[in-house]
Structure 1
Amino acid sequence: MGQRREKTVTDNRYYQAVWRWHFYAGVVVIPFLFLLAFSGLLMLLSKPLDSALNQSLLTVEAGNQPVPASALQETVEQQYPHSAIKLYLPPQDADQSARFSLQPHSHGGHGGHHAPSTLVYLNPYSGAILGDQDPANSVYARIKDFHGSLFIGALGDALIEIAAGLAVLMVVTGLYLAWPKDGLRSLLPDRALTQRAGWRRWHLSLGWLIAVPLLFFLISGLAWTNIWGGKIVQPWGSLPGTGFVPAESPTAAQPAQNHATMNEQGLHRVPWAVEQTPMPESGAVEKKMNLDDVVEQAKGHGFDTFRVHFPQEDGCVWTVSATTIAGDITRPGKERILHLDPENGEVLQDIRFADYPAMGKAMAASIPLHQGDLGLWNWWLNLLLVCLIMALIVTGALLWWKRQTRRAPPRAEAGPARAVGLIMLVVALAFPLSAAALLGIILLDAVLTARK
């Protein structure tokens, strides 16, 4: 009997310690997580909205014989003489327009990915220009910018990385606190929301329901952050360099660039696993391949839906790509990037999904799922999940508000506090910025406790 009572007391001490960590993580995380969930909801809604607003640019009346791609290119070059063509997007359907992405001449080749872009829409049957727009100013692109940086650039990215890392801790501690000690019935929500206990049951039920999807959103989103994603995870999750770095050509005028230069301003067009992989180079003195040749090459190599990246500098190559991140396809296993020599069309690199390392494959599969791009079912599922995440946040905030005292939970005894703190710190060290923030919280907590 005494041993059972002692075990209960010990369990309560650990529970109290975990509860304190859950509270602290929640204080930091809740504002950012709500903004991420809400902006994610707006991103899902803005995709069909953008399509509806741009119907006159996106669709045409299907005709019999399309104009050659090179003729469309000539029209664009005549109408936009101060810009260089970065890429060409052939129509995917008979009633879809053709598109060219342009950038100022000073940002040529595969570079200039931070320069403003202009997307020009053409009727593929008449060759007439339907209009143009800056893709970075679309409703979806603006919301996505906020979702990734809060409109404050690298600082916003860092704040989101800190919050996302602490959110992982919050989920882990929350699962411990909500562990069904009295059976699965304790996970069912209470219909009565008049008392704090009813809100707690709803918070507990929602937490268990969406813990795994929330962790998926957090980890897959963290892979795009500057520190944890760009400096720690992406280098060892990218393609191995040896098999995809061709020998340098003695006549190539430019040093090798990486695939990230194929992205556009604020818009990812290249798979996560390939961004840091060097581009191939060509020693061609004369570019004999034109756009029509490249389109035929792409079809001959088995591409159905694709985009063509233009070379404009010596040493650059033609590139044909079909990726989920760019929205060309929805099946990650079909991702492919083909680099062609501009002189003779020789295949310099043929990168496929099977070539990605395990982490790269996981990211290629998770990105379209994260963005709701795998079909209507994925769109509706993500819509439901972000609403449930916001509901979880609201119930958590209400639980704090309805407490008799809105201070932090009482400090645990030294033994359990140190043990749980050590566990949480080990988890946090997986996310350097979050670990730094967590250390700051520990020091602040120690100072406040000492003053009391």
Structure 2
Amino acid sequence: MSVEPAVRTPGDPQEGGRPDPPGTRSVWAPLRPLVRRLHFYAGVLIAPFLLVAATTGLLYAASYQVEKIVYAEELRVPVGGSELPVSRQVTAAREAHPEGEVAAVRPSPEDGATTRVLLSGVPGVDPDHTLAVFVDPYTGEVTGALEQYGSTGALPLRTWIDELHRDLQLGQPGRLYSELAASWLWVTA
């Protein structure tokens, strides 16, 4: 004699002899298609943003080291005997680039590094940026000039990566897309 397990179907009497009450379906059952569709569209909107944000964030994290390599001619000089006074270094920078006003001076932070003389109001340079003139602190020779952004001294490469991370190099529409995608991130999560 074999004993087969009993299989219940909705509406069959329970062990106590009563059938399931009507309307015992989950409250979420009617909402499930809506939530899935919302999740799908939010994912389509956000997935490209997450991919770009993660990639550019990784690039930005490495940009400090890459900047030292790319701009080595401007940032590094052979170590000399003694450094010139900062006033002479600023004079050398002003002779090479008389345009604009001196906004700040960042003296050589370590042996073999150049001094940055920051000029603001330089024609052809973004008004939010400064022109960084790099001066050899031992000889007073100008080793180069690059556009610089922000208080961290971001040079063109890091500035480009930062703008790609912030607004996908698309300006205001890219910033709005990034903000929209970031605000929908909690929905997909």
TM-score range normalised by the length of the shorter chain: 0.7 to 0.9
2:106 maps to 1:89: yes
Residue 78 of structure 2 corresponds to 61
**Shift of residue 147, structure 1, vs aligned partner:** 1.6
In structure 2, C-alpha distance between the alignment counterparts of 1:116 and 1:165, rounded to whole Å: 29
Residue 88 of structure 2 corresponds to 71
**Shift of residue 89, structure 1, vs aligned partner:** 1.2
2:183 maps to 1:165: yes
Residue 22 of structure 1 corresponds to 39
In structure 2, C-alpha distance between the alignment counterparts of 1:148 and 1:93, rounded to whole Å: 32
After superposition, the Cα gap between the structure-2 partners of 1:14 and 1:105, relative to the gap in structure 1 and judged at 3 Å, is closer
Q: Which amino acid aligns with 1:85?
A: V
Residue 147 of structure 2 corresponds to 134
**Shift of residue 15, structure 1, vs aligned partner:** 4.5
Residue 6 of structure 1 corresponds to 24
Q: Which amino acid aligns with 1:167?
A: L
Residue 97 of structure 2 corresponds to 80
2:138 maps to 1:120: no
After superposition, the Cα gap between the structure-2 partners of 1:41 and 1:50, relative to the gap in structure 1 and judged at 3 Å, is same
Partner SS for 2:102: strand
Residue 10 of structure 2 corresponds to none
The Cα offsets for residues 200-238 of structure 1, whole Å up to 9 and x where unpaired, read as xxxxxxxxxxxxxxxxxxxxxxxxxxxxxxxxxxxxxxx
Partner SS for 2:24: helix
Partner SS for 1:86: strand
2:54 maps to 1:41: no
After superposition, the Cα gap between the structure-2 partners of 1:73 and 1:170, relative to the gap in structure 1 and judged at 3 Å, is same
Residue 146 of structure 1 corresponds to 164
The Cα offsets for residues 391-450 of structure 1, whole Å up to 9 and x where unpaired, read as xxxxxxxxxxxxxxxxxxxxxxxxxxxxxxxxxxxxxxxxxxxxxxxxxxxxxxxxxxxx
After superposition, the Cα gap between the structure-2 partners of 1:155 and 1:102, relative to the gap in structure 1 and judged at 3 Å, is same
In structure 2, C-alpha distance between the alignment counterparts of 1:145 and 1:105, rounded to whole Å: 21
Larger radius of gyration: 2
In structure 1, C-alpha distance between the alignment counterparts of 2:159 and 2:123, rounded to whole Å: 24
Instruction: Give unmatched runs, 5+ long, in structure 1.
Output: 172-452
In structure 2, C-alpha distance between the alignment counterparts of 1:98 and 1:115, rounded to whole Å: 21
In structure 2, C-alpha distance between the alignment counterparts of 1:86 and 1:169, rounded to whole Å: 45
Matches for 1:275-354 after TM superposition, within 5 Å: none
In structure 2, C-alpha distance between the alignment counterparts of 1:142 and 1:103, rounded to whole Å: 20
Please, what TM-score do these two structures have when normalized by structure 2?
0.73
RMSD over aligned Cα atoms: 2.8
In structure 1, C-alpha distance between the alignment counterparts of 2:142 and 2:123, rounded to whole Å: 24
The Cα offsets for residues 54-85 of structure 1, whole Å up to 9 and x where unpaired, read as 22221223344321111111111122112222
Q: Which moved more, 1:128-137 or 1:141-150?
A: 128-137
After superposition, the Cα gap between the structure-2 partners of 1:28 and 1:105, relative to the gap in structure 1 and judged at 3 Å, is closer
In structure 1, C-alpha distance between the alignment counterparts of 2:123 and 2:159, rounded to whole Å: 24
Residue 399 of structure 1 corresponds to none
**Shift of residue 116, structure 1, vs aligned partner:** 5.2
After superposition, the Cα gap between the structure-2 partners of 1:140 and 1:105, relative to the gap in structure 1 and judged at 3 Å, is closer
In structure 2, C-alpha distance between the alignment counterparts of 1:161 and 1:30, rounded to whole Å: 14
Pick aligned residue for 2:119 from 80, 99, 102? 102
Residue 353 of structure 1 corresponds to none
Aligned length: 165
**Shift of residue 124, structure 1, vs aligned partner:** 1.4
Residue 17 of structure 2 corresponds to none
| Identical-residue share of aligned pairs (%) | 23
After superposition, the Cα gap between the structure-2 partners of 1:16 and 1:105, relative to the gap in structure 1 and judged at 3 Å, is closer
Instruction: Give unmatched runs, 5+ long, in structure 2.
Output: 1-13, 15-19, 150-154
Partner SS for 2:138: coil
